[in-house]
């Protein structure tokens, strides 16, 4: 009884997650449609099983019970899920090729109703696909040269890949066990649905604990932005001016990645590890993001509120503010602070600090020391920053 109710709950939760993914899509972000397909299959299977097991109906609606050959469709869906997750979106035409063999089997079964597939065929079919999945996941787990944004989401995604790999292995093993027993055996399918619901409960809990799986990399960016003490408005996701004819070719190439690249730049802007070693400009960002420099030049030209030089100095000043607020000047000098933020001299540091913050370093520090309302000081910073942005 408990496992039957759990199956019903898992059915609802899987379908609920599908709705979350569909209604929280972001512009220029590719959704893993095969994750949606898996969740829909899992959710519907368990929901239909549960309403029958709990005596809400006496009619069987389970697709696998009615047409066991449908299991051949599920195998490539899992493979393509891993392919999208690890390698990114591929050509849809190539992905559809994976469904030709299952479709042929279904057509033959519709014409010759007594036709059945040799169990060894399904065994070889699942083994080949699982080995392909295994090769992909191995490359993903041991890959190097991650971008900044990748490094943030990699631990959660890595665990997600391993978890789904284990789940896929269990699915393939048990489906072959059922196949060699009797693929249409209702008791075996019921046992599978009931106990696999326990596993899927753990999977769904993990998904909610790691929203990047459901909502993507935007979740990390939002978390970063919600923890910011100072937030200089630097980027516009819409073009700030009309695209010039000479830049239209680059625009066509990079247009679908603009939001993603800006998000990655914003992430780097908050990375103390990067800011303490690298002056951010189009060249250094292109190297860090593994993106052609001409794409970064285009984004700075049409989507940044500052010139490249001002952006570089602004990021340094923002880094200096965070160090000051953490108590850096309690132990070190202003000159040391400027040096740590990679300014060439104390004069250059002081000049840019006042330019963007609106007050000198000493005034900012003294205001902190006498307990001035930091919210009001933040408003001063924002006001000065907005005025400067408008003038650029």
Token digits of residue 142: 């041991």
pLDDT in tens, 81-97: 999 888 876 778 889 99
Q: Taking Cα atoms as reference points, which of 184, 188, 203, 192 lies closest to residue 81?
A: 203
pLDDT at 349: 93
Burial of 326 (0-12, 13-18, 19+ CB in 10 A): exposed
- Per DSSP, the three-state class of 15 is helix
What are the sequence ranges of the domains in the chain?
A: 2-220, 228-391
Confidence of residue 187 (pLDDT cuts 50, 70, 90): low
Separation between Cα atoms, residue 148 and residue 309, nearest integer Å: 22
pLDDT at 375: 47
Q: What angle do CA 369, 375, 379 make, to 5 degrees?
A: 115
Just give the CATH number of 228-391. Answer: 1.10.10.60
Helix 148-182 to helix 119-141 angle (10° resolution) is 170
Separation between Cα atoms, residue 377 and residue 213, nearest integer Å: 38
pLDDT for 185 beyond 90: no
What's the DSSP call for residue 69?
Answer: G
pLDDT in tens, 31-77: 578 889 999 999 988 888 888 888 787 776 677 777 778 889 999 99
To which residue do tokens 């990375």 refer? 271
pLDDT at 182: 55
Q: How far are the Cα atoms of 262, 318, 350, 367 from residue 265, in angstroms, in the given order? A: 5, 14, 25, 31
pLDDT in tens, 248-277: 999 999 888 888 888 888 888 887 778 888
Q: Give strand pairing partners of 216.
A: none
Phi, psi angle pair for 147, to nearest 5°: -75, 170
pLDDT for 229 beyond 70: no
């Amino acid at each position: 009884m408990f496992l039957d109710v759990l199956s019903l709950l898992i059915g609802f939760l899987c379908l609920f997650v599908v709705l979350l993914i569909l209604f929280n899509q972001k512009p220029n972000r590719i959704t893993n449609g095969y994750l949606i397909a898996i969740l829909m299959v899992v959710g519907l299977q368990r929901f239909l099983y549960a309403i029958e097991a709990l005596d809400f109906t006496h009619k069987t609606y389970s697709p696998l019970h009615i047409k066991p050959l449908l299991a051949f469709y599920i195998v490539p869906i899992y493979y393509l899920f891993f392919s999208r997750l690890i390698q990114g979106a591929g050509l849809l035409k190539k992905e559809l090729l994976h469904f030709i063999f299952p479709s042929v089997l279904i057509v033959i079964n519709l014409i010759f109703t007594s036709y059945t597939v040799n169990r060894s065929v399904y065994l070889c079919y699942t083994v080949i696909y699982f080995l392909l999945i295994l090769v992909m996941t191995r490359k993903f787990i041991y890959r190097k040269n991650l971008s900044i944004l990748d490094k943030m989401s990699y631990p959660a995604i890595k665990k997600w890949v391993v978890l789904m790999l284990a789940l896929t292995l269990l699915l393939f093993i048990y489906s072959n066990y059922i196949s060699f027993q009797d693929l249409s055996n209702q008791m075996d399918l019921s046992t599978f649905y009931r106990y696999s619901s326990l596993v899927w409960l753990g999977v769904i809990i993990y998904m909610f604990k790691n929203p990047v799986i459901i909502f993507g990399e935007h979740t990390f960016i939002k978390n970063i932005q919600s923890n910011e003490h100072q937030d200089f408005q630097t980027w516009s996701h819409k073009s700030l001016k009309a695209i010039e004819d000479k830049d239209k070719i680059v625009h066509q190439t990079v247009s679908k990645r603009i939001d993603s690249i800006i998000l990655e730049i914003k992430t780097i802007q908050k990375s103390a590890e990067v800011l303490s070693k690298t002056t951010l400009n189009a060249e250094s960002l292109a190297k860090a993001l593994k993106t052609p420099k001409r794409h970064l030049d285009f984004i700075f030209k049409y989507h940044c509120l500052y010139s490249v030089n001002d952006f570089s100095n602004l990021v340094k000043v923002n880094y200096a503010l965070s160090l000051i607020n953490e108590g850096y000047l309690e132990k070190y000098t202003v000159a040391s602070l400027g040096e740590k933020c990679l300014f060439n001299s104390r004069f250059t540091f002081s000049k840019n600090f006042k330019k963007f913050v609106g007050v000198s370093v000493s005034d900012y520090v003294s205001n902190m020391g006498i307990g001035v309302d930091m919210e009001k000081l933040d408003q001063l910073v924002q006001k000065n920053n907005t005025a400067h942005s408008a003038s650029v």
